[in-house]
Amino acid sequence: ETGVTQTPRHLVMGMTNKKSLKCEQHLGHNAMYWYKQSAKKPLELMFVYNFKEQTENNSVPSRFSPECPNSSHLFLHLHTLQPEDSALYLCASSLDYGYTFGSGTRLTVV
Partner 1 sequence: GNSVTQMEGPVTLSEEAFLTINCTYTATGYPSLFWYVQYPGEGLQLLLKATKADDKGSNKGFEATYRKETTSFHLEKGSVQVSDSAVYFCALSDLGGADGLTFGKGTHLIIQP
- Residue 80 Cβ vs partner 1, minimum distance, rounded to whole Å: 26
Please work out, in degrees rounded to the nearest 5, the angle formed at the alpha carbon of residue 103 by the alpha carbons of 98 and 106: 135
- Residue 31 Cβ vs partner 1, minimum distance, rounded to whole Å: 5
Residue 83 neighbours by CB under 8 Å, 6+ apart? 15, 109, 110
Per CB under 8 A, the segment of 11-19, 47-55, 67-75, 79-87 that binds partner 1 is 47-55
Under the binding rule (CB under 8 A), the answer on residue 96 touching partner 1 is yes
Neighbouring C-beta atoms of residue 74, cutoff 10 Å: 27
- Residue 63 Cβ vs partner 1, minimum distance, rounded to whole Å: 21
Burial (0-12, 13-18, 19+ Cβ within 10 Å), 110: exposed
Among 11, 21, 25, 31, interactor with partner 1 by CB under 8 A: 31
Neighbouring C-beta atoms of residue 73, cutoff 10 Å: 15
By the criterion CB under 8 A, which residues form the site for partner 1?
2, 4, 6, 30-31, 33, 35, 40-43, 45, 48, 50, 55-56, 90, 92, 94, 96-104
